[in-house]
Amino acid sequence: MRKIVMTALAFVLVSGCAYTQHSFAGNPEHDKTHLQSEDVQNDDAYKLYNANTNSMVDIDKALARARVRGTKIIVVMGANWCHDSIGFAARMDKPEFKALIEQNYELVYVNAGTKPGQKDQNRAVSKRFGVKKIVGTPTIFIARPDGTVLNPDSAGYWRNAYSIPEDMSYAYLAYYADK
């Protein structure tokens, strides 16, 4: 199952959030999706990547809760300027994802950059989980309560999160929930 999920995910993910806008010209379905993405991006409810929090403290608290509950943590390094980061956060707010997260994870959002294109804010967080340089946002770490990263090879695959089908996103998170 892991190989299937990882192969499918690798196929879908091509590039990450960058300063330039993604172009979907010529395809009405993609144009519609892009507009929906911008609508979500402008919704303050999904601006979860707060530059004014102490992310290491937030992660330590999540790890402590995960130890008590016997769950794992998901650390989402993203940015409020990135439609993929916002799209991922919006997906996590859907009922089926909320239930999966509630049962299996502690979820922490970490700001990777406040300026468009910036991905190096909170670099200590990415280094803590074995990534020296964030290539794209969001980068998603799934870890055990002891901090062991379960998805080191695919943490950066999420940089095109908005384009990943919901069922694949769910399957990925469900797969690691059972690890």
Residues 6+ apart with CB under 8 A from 19: 116, 117
Residue 96, φ and ψ in degrees, nearest 5: -65, -35
With respect to residue 28, please indicate whether it lies within any of the assigned structural domains: no
With respect to residue 19, please indicate whether it lies within any of the assigned structural domains: no
Query: Taking 60 as the threshold, does the pLDDT of residue 63 lie above it?
Result: yes
* Number of compact structural domains in the chain: 1
Global pTM reads 0.77
With respect to residue 35, please indicate whether it lies within any of the assigned structural domains: no
Please write the tens of the pLDDT for every residue from 21-35.
332 233 333 333 333
With respect to residue 168, please indicate whether it lies within any of the assigned structural domains: yes
Q: Residue 118: which domain range?
A: 2-12+46-177
CATH number, domain containing residue 141: 3.40.30.10
With respect to residue 41, please indicate whether it lies within any of the assigned structural domains: no
Q: What is the pLDDT of residue 48?
A: 87
The residue written with tokens 């892009």 in the block is 34
The residue written with tokens 């530059």 in the block is 51
Handedness of CA 75, 78, 79, 82 (dihedral sign): negative
Task: Supply angle C-alpha 172, 178, 179, rounded to 5.
Answer: 95
- CA atoms of 90 and 145, how far apart (whole Å): 25
Please write the tens of the pLDDT for every residue from 76-98.
999 999 999 999 999 999 999 99
With respect to residue 23, please indicate whether it lies within any of the assigned structural domains: no
